[in-house]
Amino acid sequence: MASEAALTPEAARSIAPHLFPARTPITKAQIEAGINVCLDIQRRAVTFGKRPFAACLLGSDNETVLLMHQSIDQVNHAESSLARLAYSHYSKAYLWQCTLVSTWEPCAMCSSTIYWAHIGRVVYAASNEQLAQLTGPGNKENFTMNWHTRDILLGQQKDVEIIGPVEGMDKTVVEESDVYWKTTR
Ligand SMILES: [Zn+2]
Protein backbone atom coordinates (compact mmCIF):
# COMPACT_ATOMS: atom_id res chain seq x y z
CA MET A 1 0.00 0.00 0.00
CA ALA A 2 1.37 3.40 -0.97
CA SER A 3 1.34 5.93 1.79
CA GLU A 4 -0.79 9.02 1.40
CA ALA A 5 1.02 11.45 -0.89
CA ALA A 6 1.58 14.93 0.47
CA LEU A 7 0.29 17.34 -2.16
CA THR A 8 0.98 20.58 -0.37
CA PRO A 9 3.18 23.63 -1.00
CA GLU A 10 5.12 22.72 2.15
CA ALA A 11 5.91 19.28 0.75
CA ALA A 12 6.90 20.73 -2.63
CA ARG A 13 9.20 23.24 -0.91
CA SER A 14 10.88 20.58 1.20
CA ILE A 15 11.52 18.41 -1.89
CA ALA A 16 12.92 21.25 -4.05
CA PRO A 17 13.64 24.37 -1.98
CA HIS A 18 15.79 25.90 -4.75
CA LEU A 19 12.69 26.15 -6.97
CA PHE A 20 10.82 28.31 -4.47
CA PRO A 21 13.00 31.30 -3.55
CA ALA A 22 11.37 34.08 -1.52
CA ARG A 23 9.22 36.52 -3.52
CA THR A 24 9.45 40.25 -2.87
CA PRO A 25 5.97 41.46 -1.85
CA ILE A 26 4.44 43.63 -4.58
CA THR A 27 3.23 47.14 -3.69
CA LYS A 28 0.00 48.84 -4.79
CA ALA A 29 2.03 51.29 -6.91
CA GLN A 30 3.87 48.40 -8.63
CA ILE A 31 0.57 46.62 -9.31
CA GLU A 32 -0.90 49.75 -10.89
CA ALA A 33 2.24 50.41 -12.94
CA GLY A 34 2.14 46.83 -14.26
CA ILE A 35 -1.52 47.13 -15.23
CA ASN A 36 -0.80 50.42 -16.99
CA VAL A 37 1.87 48.66 -19.06
CA CYS A 38 -0.76 46.05 -20.02
CA LEU A 39 -3.25 48.79 -20.94
CA ASP A 40 -0.68 50.30 -23.33
CA ILE A 41 -0.16 46.89 -24.96
CA GLN A 42 -3.92 46.33 -25.16
CA ARG A 43 -4.63 49.74 -26.73
CA ARG A 44 -2.00 49.14 -29.38
CA ALA A 45 -3.28 45.60 -30.01
CA VAL A 46 -6.81 46.88 -30.64
CA THR A 47 -5.51 49.31 -33.30
CA PHE A 48 -4.16 46.22 -35.09
CA GLY A 49 -7.56 44.54 -34.94
CA LYS A 50 -6.74 42.28 -32.00
CA ARG A 51 -9.05 41.65 -29.06
CA PRO A 52 -8.52 43.69 -25.88
CA PHE A 53 -6.46 41.31 -23.75
CA ALA A 54 -2.82 41.91 -22.76
CA ALA A 55 -0.18 40.69 -20.33
CA CYS A 56 3.34 41.55 -19.22
CA LEU A 57 5.97 39.81 -17.10
CA LEU A 58 7.59 41.76 -14.27
CA GLY A 59 11.01 40.73 -12.97
CA SER A 60 11.89 39.87 -9.39
CA ASP A 61 12.04 43.61 -8.50
CA ASN A 62 8.32 43.81 -9.42
CA GLU A 63 9.14 46.70 -11.78
CA THR A 64 11.35 45.63 -14.70
CA VAL A 65 9.17 44.65 -17.67
CA LEU A 66 10.81 41.52 -19.04
CA LEU A 67 8.27 40.49 -21.67
CA MET A 68 4.91 41.57 -23.01
CA HIS A 69 2.19 39.93 -25.07
CA GLN A 70 -1.15 40.77 -26.62
CA SER A 71 -3.91 38.33 -27.52
CA ILE A 72 -3.13 36.75 -30.89
CA ASP A 73 -6.40 34.89 -31.39
CA GLN A 74 -8.93 32.73 -29.55
CA VAL A 75 -6.48 29.91 -28.83
CA ASN A 76 -3.31 31.98 -28.46
CA HIS A 77 -4.24 34.10 -25.47
CA ALA A 78 -1.97 36.86 -24.14
CA GLU A 79 -1.27 35.17 -20.79
CA SER A 80 -0.54 31.60 -21.91
CA SER A 81 1.52 32.84 -24.88
CA LEU A 82 3.51 35.03 -22.49
CA ALA A 83 3.95 32.22 -19.95
CA ARG A 84 5.35 29.89 -22.64
CA LEU A 85 7.73 32.61 -23.80
CA ALA A 86 8.79 33.30 -20.21
CA TYR A 87 9.58 29.62 -19.65
CA SER A 88 11.80 29.63 -22.76
CA HIS A 89 13.70 32.70 -21.58
CA TYR A 90 14.20 32.26 -17.84
CA SER A 91 14.87 29.62 -15.22
CA LYS A 92 12.16 28.18 -12.98
CA ALA A 93 13.81 29.58 -9.84
CA TYR A 94 13.84 33.07 -11.34
CA LEU A 95 10.28 32.85 -12.69
CA TRP A 96 9.03 31.94 -9.23
CA GLN A 97 10.04 35.48 -8.20
CA CYS A 98 8.35 37.08 -11.24
CA THR A 99 4.82 38.39 -11.71
CA LEU A 100 2.54 37.93 -14.69
CA VAL A 101 0.22 40.94 -14.91
CA SER A 102 -2.83 41.00 -17.16
CA THR A 103 -5.72 43.29 -17.87
CA TRP A 104 -8.25 40.43 -17.52
CA GLU A 105 -8.50 37.41 -15.24
CA PRO A 106 -6.51 34.56 -16.84
CA CYS A 107 -8.70 31.70 -18.10
CA ALA A 108 -8.32 28.04 -17.16
CA MET A 109 -5.88 27.38 -20.02
CA CYS A 110 -3.76 30.40 -19.16
CA SER A 111 -3.85 29.78 -15.41
CA SER A 112 -2.60 26.23 -15.99
CA THR A 113 0.16 27.44 -18.29
CA ILE A 114 1.23 29.99 -15.66
CA TYR A 115 1.37 27.12 -13.14
CA TRP A 116 3.50 24.92 -15.39
CA ALA A 117 5.73 27.86 -16.37
CA HIS A 118 6.41 28.20 -12.63
CA ILE A 119 5.56 31.91 -12.49
CA GLY A 120 5.14 32.74 -8.81
CA ARG A 121 2.56 35.50 -8.90
CA VAL A 122 -0.36 36.56 -11.07
CA VAL A 123 -2.07 39.95 -10.96
CA TYR A 124 -5.19 40.74 -12.98
CA ALA A 125 -7.14 43.99 -13.09
CA ALA A 126 -10.67 42.94 -14.06
CA SER A 127 -12.64 39.77 -13.32
CA ASN A 128 -14.20 37.16 -15.53
CA GLU A 129 -17.68 38.28 -14.39
CA GLN A 130 -16.90 41.77 -15.61
CA LEU A 131 -15.83 40.30 -18.96
CA ALA A 132 -19.03 38.26 -19.21
CA GLN A 133 -21.05 41.43 -18.58
CA LEU A 134 -19.08 43.33 -21.17
CA THR A 135 -19.30 40.73 -23.92
CA GLY A 136 -22.93 39.97 -23.09
CA PRO A 137 -24.48 36.50 -23.34
CA GLY A 138 -24.24 34.65 -26.64
CA ASN A 139 -21.53 36.87 -28.08
CA LYS A 140 -20.14 34.92 -31.04
CA GLU A 141 -16.80 36.77 -30.69
CA ASN A 142 -16.46 35.49 -27.13
CA PHE A 143 -18.66 32.76 -25.69
CA THR A 144 -17.22 33.67 -22.29
CA MET A 145 -16.60 30.66 -20.02
CA ASN A 146 -17.59 30.40 -16.38
CA TRP A 147 -14.47 29.98 -14.19
CA HIS A 148 -11.97 31.76 -12.00
CA THR A 149 -8.19 31.80 -11.84
CA ARG A 150 -8.48 30.72 -8.20
CA ASP A 151 -10.53 27.65 -9.24
CA ILE A 152 -7.43 26.43 -11.04
CA LEU A 153 -4.54 27.70 -8.93
CA LEU A 154 -5.70 27.57 -5.32
CA GLY A 155 -4.97 24.41 -3.33
CA GLN A 156 -2.24 23.14 -5.64
CA GLN A 157 1.29 21.99 -4.81
CA LYS A 158 2.66 25.36 -5.90
CA ASP A 159 1.21 28.29 -4.00
CA VAL A 160 1.12 30.80 -6.83
CA GLU A 161 0.09 34.16 -5.34
CA ILE A 162 -3.09 35.54 -6.92
CA ILE A 163 -4.03 39.23 -6.77
CA GLY A 164 -7.18 40.53 -8.45
CA PRO A 165 -9.51 42.06 -9.32
CA VAL A 166 -7.83 45.39 -8.57
CA GLU A 167 -10.33 47.99 -7.43
CA GLY A 168 -10.27 51.12 -9.54
CA MET A 169 -8.03 49.64 -12.25
CA ASP A 170 -10.77 47.12 -13.07
CA LYS A 171 -13.11 49.94 -14.13
CA THR A 172 -10.44 51.47 -16.36
CA VAL A 173 -9.89 48.10 -18.05
CA VAL A 174 -13.64 47.61 -18.52
CA GLU A 175 -14.07 51.09 -20.04
CA GLU A 176 -11.11 50.76 -22.38
CA SER A 177 -12.06 47.23 -23.45
CA ASP A 178 -15.62 48.32 -24.18
CA VAL A 179 -14.31 50.35 -27.15
CA TYR A 180 -13.87 46.94 -28.80
CA TRP A 181 -16.69 44.89 -27.26
CA LYS A 182 -19.46 47.43 -27.93
CA THR A 183 -18.93 46.81 -31.64
CA THR A 184 -19.58 43.07 -31.15
CA ARG A 185 -22.66 43.01 -28.90
ZN1 LIG B 1 -6.63 32.50 -21.53
Mind listing the pLDDT tens digit for each residue in 22-74? Answer: 999 999 999 999 999 999 999 999 999 999 999 999 999 999 999 999 999 99
Q: Is residue 85 part of a domain?
A: yes
6 has a pLDDT exceeding 80: no
Centre of ligand 1 from the C-alpha of residue 74, in Å = 8
Q: What is the largest CA-CA distance in the chain?
A: 60
Q: Is residue 110 part of a domain?
A: yes
Centre of ligand 1 from the C-alpha of residue 3, in Å = 36
pLDDT band at 146 (very low <50, low <70, confident <90, very high): confident
Centre of ligand 1 from the C-alpha of residue 75, in Å = 8
Q: Is residue 132 part of a domain?
A: yes
Centre of ligand 1 from the C-alpha of residue 71, in Å = 9
Could you give the CA distance from residue 119 to residue 96 in angstroms, rounded to a whole number?
5
Tell me the mean pLDDT in the region 173-181.
95
Q: Is residue 9 part of a domain?
A: no
Per-residue model confidence (pLDDT) at position 172: 97
Centre of ligand 1 from the C-alpha of residue 91, in Å = 23
Q: Is residue 16 part of a domain?
A: no
Could you give the CA distance from residue 102 to residue 35 in angstroms, rounded to a whole number?
7
Q: Is residue 6 part of a domain?
A: no
* Average pLDDT, rounded, for the chain: 95
Could you give the CA distance from residue 82 to residue 78 in angstroms, rounded to a whole number?
6
pLDDT band at 151 (very low <50, low <70, confident <90, very high): very high
pLDDT band at 4 (very low <50, low <70, confident <90, very high): low
Centre of ligand 1 from the C-alpha of residue 38, in Å = 15
Torsion over CA: 140, 180, 73, 164 (sign): negative
CATH code assigned at 120: 3.40.140.10
Q: Is residue 1 part of a domain?
A: no
How many independent structural domains does the chain possess? 1
Centre of ligand 1 from the C-alpha of residue 160, in Å = 17
Contact between 103 and 173 (Cβ < 8 Å): yes
Please give the radius of gyration of the chain, using alpha carbons only, rounded to the nearest integer. 17
Per-residue model confidence (pLDDT) at position 71: 97
pLDDT digits (tens, 9 = 90+) for 71-113: 999 999 999 999 999 999 999 999 999 999 999 999 999 999 9
Centre of ligand 1 from the C-alpha of residue 30, in Å = 23
Centre of ligand 1 from the C-alpha of residue 109, in Å = 5
Per-residue model confidence (pLDDT) at position 141: 86
The pTM for the full model equals 0.95
Could you give the CA distance from residue 157 to residue 12 in angstroms, rounded to a whole number?
6
Per-residue model confidence (pLDDT) at position 5: 67
Is the N-terminal amide bond of 52 cis, ω within 30° of 0? no
End-to-end CA distance of the chain: 57
Comparing C-alpha atoms, which of 64, 136, 63, 145 is closest to residue 110? 145
Q: Is residue 153 part of a domain?
A: yes
Provide the domain limits for residue 68: 23-182
Centre of ligand 1 from the C-alpha of residue 108, in Å = 6
Could you give the CA distance from residue 26 to residue 38 in angstroms, rounded to a whole number?
16
Q: What percent of the chain has pLDDT over 90?
A: 89
Centre of ligand 1 from the C-alpha of residue 4, in Å = 33
Tell me the mean pLDDT in the region 159-173.
98
